[in-house]
Structure 1
Amino acid sequence: MDNDLHYEIIKPHKPLSDFVDSFWFLHNQSDSNKETTGLPDGRVDLFLFQSPTEPFRIALLGLGTAQHESAVIPANGLMFSISFKLLAIEYIFHDTISDIVNNGKLLPEGFWGFTKDDLQDFDLFVEKATKKIQSLLPKDIDKRKLKLFELIYVGKGAVTVKELSEKVFWSSRQINRYFNQQFGISLKTYCNILRFRASLEHIAQGKLFPEENFTDQNHFIKEIKKFSGVVPKELFKNKNDRFILLSTLPRK
């Protein structure tokens, strides 16, 4: 990654890992703004953010279904984030994110007890966030939904709606209604996003042919371009670390 951008990630342990993908921070250590392109990754992010020119704020970013251009990381801007899996929306937030697809919303300062002081120490932020989420863990979870998401994540999206429906004993129609009402997209779209995300790990290694479940090379290129705006070769080049998500992955 660009030497001016400092990135660190921490993965949670069970039982948080059913609801939380990761804790991470991104710090623009330079005195100039960094223009980036965001890529869909199938996660829902809660951000704490502040820069010398912008006030402290907390925001929730919904699911992305396409690249979003010109996401600027301000000079000396600092961002701490919790990336959530979809099960957290219903069971931790007790809410829906169908209204913020490709968008986000500001949360009140003090949400979950977070303040600008929490941006002083990432490890303490993770500790505080972990304790808060642990206090919100549900006692009972619909076993169909727990199994559904387990299969989706293990398969990295490379599974059909029909297969999932048969394995969790929940009709395809009901699953899609749940997804659209709760998250604002269909299950098939979500699985395609996860497959795209998994493909980024291979592209970062210079593997520009499908490693995941794509029909053929043309299908692979078409899907990568649909979600990123560019073909795999351009993604791999990642000029100026434009694609932050790709920059965080190990390269060959």
Structure 2
Amino acid sequence: MAFQDLEYRTVQPAPELAEFVESFWMLANHSDAAQVVALVPDGRPDLVFADSATEPYHVVLLGLDSRPSAPLIPPRARMLTISWKLLAVEYLLPVRIAALLHTGMYLPTDYLGITVGDLADFDGFCAKVLAALLGRLPLAVDARKRKLFSLLYAADGAITVEALAEAAAWSSRQINRYFQQMVGLSLKAYCNILRFRASFPHLKAGKLFPEQNFTDQAHFIREVKKYAGVVPKELARNQDDRFIQFSTLPQK
């Protein structure tokens, strides 16, 4: 992949949205050719506003993934995206995403008041989305769910279901039912994805040994291969920048 043809930017959400939104980001393909990239599960549902030389403007909500994929970035494409935290599924998104595991659904092209013209200005897009989402914030959030997700993200998934249930005063059975109904995965499966994702910076730095509470090296290798389709050494090498989530990690 000619990564130099791709432009990437990311912006953190305002504090008022931090429980619901992980980031806003922009990816543009300045080439006249489609670019093949490799994506790995990262635990984020995405809302993508996109336009390209080969596809009309569209808005698509993407559910979670638990396996690697190799999508094409169309020529002259511009994609502006909201990456969500899971608390948003119940409180901000228009649908539960359980039915969107490994897939997505189109939303109206005027969703959140965004139009194709807004794709030309990433900063303006972020400001417009911020205003729209602030107007949709819930008046109250279930304290159990707030506690659960706060601990889950703070631990990068390296925490047991039992510990989360005890801290949130919410039974593990109820939590798993909630996760299956809302996102299509069990809590444990989601924890494993977060823990895998938290290993990205270590791998990019050339640290091929587990640092996220994996049982041992063999377990770490199995988990990386499960979610990335390659062993840790190959993922860390990231030949031709094809693993775009690694290519866009900030340099330490």
**C-alpha displacement at 1:95, in angstroms?**
2.7
Where in structure 2 are the equivalents of 1:123-138 lying within 5 Å?
123-138=123-138
Cα distance in 1 for residues equivalent to 2:15 and 2:148? 18
Number of aligned residue pairs: give it: 251
Check conservation: 1:204, 1:250, Cα contact below 8 A: no
TM superposition shift of 1:249? 1.0
Query: For structure 1, which segment, 24-33 or 151-160, has the greater mean C-alpha deviation from structure 2 after superposition?
Result: 24-33
How far residue 94 of structure 1 moved from its aligned partner, in angstroms, is 5.0
Aligned twin of 2:222: 222
Residue 189 of structure 2: aligned partner:
189
Q: Is the 8 A contact 1:205 1:251 kept in 2?
A: no
Q: Give the TM-score, by structure 1 length.
A: 0.97
Structure-1 residue corresponding to 2:150: 150
User: Alignment partner of 1:136: what SS?
Assistant: coil
Q: TM-score scaled by structure 2?
A: 0.97
SS where residue 59 of structure 1 aligns? strand
Partner of 1:45: 46
The percentage of counterpart residues that share the same residue type is 51
Show structure 1 runs of 4+ deviating over 4 A: none
Matched residues in 1 for 2:83 and 2:48: separation?
9
* 1:251 Cα deviation after fit: 4.7
| 1:167-210 deviation line (CA, Å, top 9, x unaligned) | 11110000000000011000000000000100111111111110
Tell me how far 1:13 sits from its aligned partner.
2.4
- The residue type paired with residue 93 of structure 2 is F
Query: How far apart in 2 are the matches of 1:149 and 1:62?
Result: 18
Structure-2 separation of matches of 1:49 and 1:240:
25
Instruction: State the alpha-carbon separation in 2 of the partners of residues 112 and 94 from structure 1.
Output: 11
Instruction: Name the CA distance, whole Å, in 1 between partners of 2:195 and 2:23.
Output: 18
Gaps of 5+ in 2: none
Mapping 1:42-191, distance limit 5 Å:
42-69=43-70, 71-191=71-191
Q: Identify the structure with the greater strand proportion.
A: 1
Following superposition, the deviation at residue 14 of structure 1 comes to: 1.4
Q: State yes or no: 1:36 paired with 2:42.
A: no
Q: Deviations over 1:91-138 (max 9, x none)?
A: 112531110001111111111111111111000000000001100001
Cα distance in 2 for partners of 1:107, 1:155 equals 33
Once the two structures are superposed, what CA deviation does each residue of 1:29-74 show, in whole Å capped at 9, x if it has no partner?
11221101111111110001111121110000001111012x0001
Checking the alignment, whether the CA contact within 8 Å between 1:28 and 1:74 is kept in structure 2 is yes
